[in-house]
Structures are given as C-alpha cells and as structure tokens.
Amino acid sequence: MKTIDIDEARANFEALIAATAASGEGFVLTRNGVAIARVLPITTKVAAPATRIGFMKGKLGISCDTNPSLDDEVRALFEG
C-alpha cells in the first residue's frame, strides 16, 4: 500500500480519492514519516444484515388436535 504525506494529500485530495475509488486500492497517510491513517475504498457490495425476527415464519405450525390428558399433565407440572 502506498504512503502519502499529509501535506501532499491536502494538496491533491480530490485526485487521491478519485484514484482510490478507481483502482480499489487504499493508501496510508503519514506525518513526518509516521503513519497516522489508512484510507480504503468502500466496496460496492454491502452485506445485508442478518434478520433474526421472523426467520421461522410460516415454517412451523401448531396442531389444533390436543390431547386432553397431556394438557392435564402439563397443567399439573406448572401448578404443582
């Protein structure tokens, strides 16, 4: 990755950004030979955020046929 002094970057900022966008390669900004920042292009593909709410919608069902003896057993487990 190429390095560019901050004073040079100030003088040619617009051209540097255009070149970075066109080439897809970033650069490191330096001040007195010390790296102070890295400038990278933003990729065109942005990952879609993972959605957790509703991810099983329509995939599960609840049967209307319940077993009354099972209902009593479950109720007894909760109520003691």
Tens-digit pLDDT profile for residues 44-62: 566 677 777 777 788 877 7
Q: Say what the pLDDT of residue 8 is.
A: 95
Is 51 inside a domain boundary?
no
Domain of residue 27, residue span? 2-39
Lowest mean pLDDT of 14-18, 22-26, 47-51, name the range: 47-51
Residue 79 has pLDDT above 80, yes or no: yes
Give the total number of structural domains in the chain: 1
Give the predicted TM-score (pTM) of the model: 0.51
Is 31 inside a domain boundary?
yes
Percent of the chain with pLDDT over 90: 44
Q: Say what the pLDDT of residue 74 is.
A: 81
Residue type at position 63: S
Give the CATH number of the domain where residue 32 resides: 3.40.1620.10
Comparing CA positions, the residue from 24, 42, 34 lying closest to residue 3 is 34
**DSSP conformational letter for 66:** -
Comparing CA positions, the residue from 2, 41, 47, 45 lying closest to residue 24 is 41
